[in-house]
Amino acid sequence: MFTGIVTDVGRVKSIETRGDTRFVIETSYDPDTIALGASVSCAGCCLTVVDKGRGETLNWFAVDASAETLACSTLGAWKSGTPINLERALKAGDELGGHIVSGHVDGVGTIIDMKPEGDSVRFTFEAPEPLRKFIASKGSITIDGTSFTVNEVEDLRVGANEFRVRFGVNIIPHTQAVTTWGEAEVGDSVNLEIDMLARYVARLAQKD
């Protein structure tokens, strides 16, 4: 489990395609404090550490991603040098600064617009239709591993019976400085994870 509070920005060092795809990620984390088999949120995707080590300038750890993970997230588009929001797994007693995050990507969204708003930047995202009922104004959402509060939600009709949803969040200067959001651009794809509470409320509301 995670909280959506990014603690490091790593970068893809290398990619190796085997049966699965192995990513080596540079990080400032001390490898002595990372256990093999530990979970790390990488751009919002929970991945398992399978190797680790020290480099000349930065440390690194390696994770394996299945074809399913690549297809259901932005990981399939990662290249050498891609910046990644990182968060280590929550420990009992840690401060819960964001909200409960599982690291399971529910869909891929797109940055539609970015506009300055005071000292912050107002980002507008578009999410796929299956996530529409789970995104609510003032609710929580995880985007590329970062916990955000949704400002507003707009349903968008794109076909006779097809909808998408657009929603906005404000990203403050501090968040832009310590995450990948300072490098974001319109058109970028992002990993989305809906709020766990919304997921279970929707399940309970289903008719038998």
pLDDT digits (tens, 9 = 90+) for 23-72: 999 999 999 999 999 999 999 999 999 999 998 888 999 999 999 999 99
DSSP code string of 107-122: EEEEEEEEEEETTEEE
- The structural domains of the chain, ordered by start, are 8-88 (2.40.30.20), 107-205 (2.40.30.20)
Mean pLDDT, residues 9-27 taken together: 96
Q: What is d(CA 63, CA 25) in angstroms, rounded to the nearest whole number?
A: 8
Q: What is the dihedral of CA 103, 138, 97, 205, to 10 degrees?
A: -50
Q: What is the pLDDT of residue 187?
A: 98
Amino acid at site 108: V
Cα 197 to Cα 107: distance, rounded to the nearest angstrom: 17
Length of the chain: 208
Query: With contact defined as beta carbons under 8 Å apart, do 88 and 40 qualify?
Result: yes
CB 190 within 8 Å of CB 139: no
pTM over 0.85: yes
- pLDDT, residue 207, reads 62
- How far is 153 from 64, CA to CA, in rounded Å? 35
Angle subtended at Cα 180 by Cα 177 and Cα 184, rounded to the nearest 5 degrees:
105
pLDDT for 97 beyond 90: no
Q: 199 falls in which pLDDT band (50, 70, 90)?
A: confident
Token pair for residue 67? 């074809």
